[in-house]
Structures are given as C-alpha cells and as structure tokens.
Amino acid sequence: MRITQGCFSFLPDLTDTQIAAQVNYCLEQGWAVALEFTDDPHPRNTYWNMWGLPMFDLRDPAGVMGELKACREANPETYVRINAFDSTKGWETVRMSFIVQRPTAEPGFRLVRQETQGRMLRYTMESYAVGRAPEGARYAP
C-alpha cells in the first residue's frame, strides 16, 4: 500500500530534477530546507529522525541534493522526506513537506479491532512492517 503523506504523494515519485526544482522554489521563498528519515511511517508519527540540521542560508538546491544523496546511501529502504520551514513570520512552521524516497515494498497497515465493554469496538491502525521487525530491519529486502 503506497503511503500518501505530504505534498505530491498522489503523483508518481518525483525525479531528482523535479525534487531539485521544488527545493529551488522553497529556497526562493526564503525557507530553510531539512531532511528527515524513518522506517515507522504511521501517520501519527510526526517525529522522524533528522538528517543533520535544517539548512539555512542556502541559495542553490545543489547543497540539499548532495545531502539527499548521502542520506539515501546511509538509509536505503527507509522513508525520506524534505521539509521546508518558514521562519520569516516568527512562527516557525513547515510550509511544505514531501516524500523523496520510499522502500521498494510497502506492506501497509492493518485495521485492529479491539472489543471493549458491551458491543463497543475500538479501531486502530498498525503497520505490518513495524510489527514484524525492530527498528532498522523493518524494510530490509
């Protein structure tokens, strides 16, 4: 099941040229670009691992693309996303976030039904990948 979070996630995966063009747009808006990666893509897991610090004062996407390459090499078979922070207004917030790498196989989520008092049911989601292996080995081929 293809995970859809952030911008462009219903589109085919972006090529590197397209990613660079998006990063270029972010930099032109004066946003700081950051890379994050995880192998627990639950929609409620907002805290992904940071790949280095957010990159401030960049003028050109080449610097981000270099970091992205390094991040992909160090973390194959994980999710990697690019976040763009806008600090110009004083309230620092993510203006744009999109996935730039995903594992080859995405097993997806199962719906867990928990029976409680009476005939009540609680529903929750559980990732197959997270359930089957500890962190770091979840998407290993």
Partner 1 sequence: MNAPEQAPARIDLGAEFRDAGIGEVLDALERDLVGLAPVKRRVREIAALLLVDRVRQRLGLATEHPSLHMSFTGNPGTGKTTVAMRMAEILHRLGYCRRGHVVAVTRDDLVGQYIGHTAPKTKEVLKRAMGGVLFIDEAYYLYRPENEKDYGQEAIEILLQVMENQRDDLVVILAGYAERMERFFESNPGMKSRIAHHVDFPDYSDTELGEIAQRMLAGWNYRFDEAARVAFADYIVLRRRQPHFANARSIRNALDRMRLRQALRLFESGATVDAEALTTLTEADVRASRHFQQAAA
Q: Which of 9, 17, 18, 30 has the alpha carbon at shortest distance from 97?
A: 9
User: Which CB atom, from 67 or from 106, has the smaller least distance to partner 1?
Assistant: 67
Distance, C-alpha 5 to centroid of its chain: 8
Q: Which stretch binds partner 1 (CB under 8 A): 7-15, 60-68, 101-109, 116-124?
A: 60-68
The residue (of 61 and 103) whose beta carbon lies closer to partner 1 is 61
- Cβ closest to partner 1, residue 28 vs residue 115: 28
58 in contact with partner 1 (CB under 8 A): yes
| Residue 112 CB partners (closer than 8 Å, separation 6+) | 123, 124, 125, 126
Select 1 or 70, whichever has its Cβ closest to partner 1. 70
Three-state secondary structure call for residue 139:
coil
Match 């270099």 to its residue by tokens.
66
Among 63, 76, 77, 95, binds partner 1 (CB under 8 A): 63
Q: Does 74 bind partner 1 (CB under 8 A)?
A: no
Local structure of 17: helix, strand or coil: helix
Q: Which of 3, 7, 14, 55 binds partner 1 (CB under 8 A)?
A: 55
Among 21, 45, 50, 66, interactor with partner 1 by CB under 8 A: 66
Q: Are 97 and 6 in contact (CB under 8 A)?
A: yes
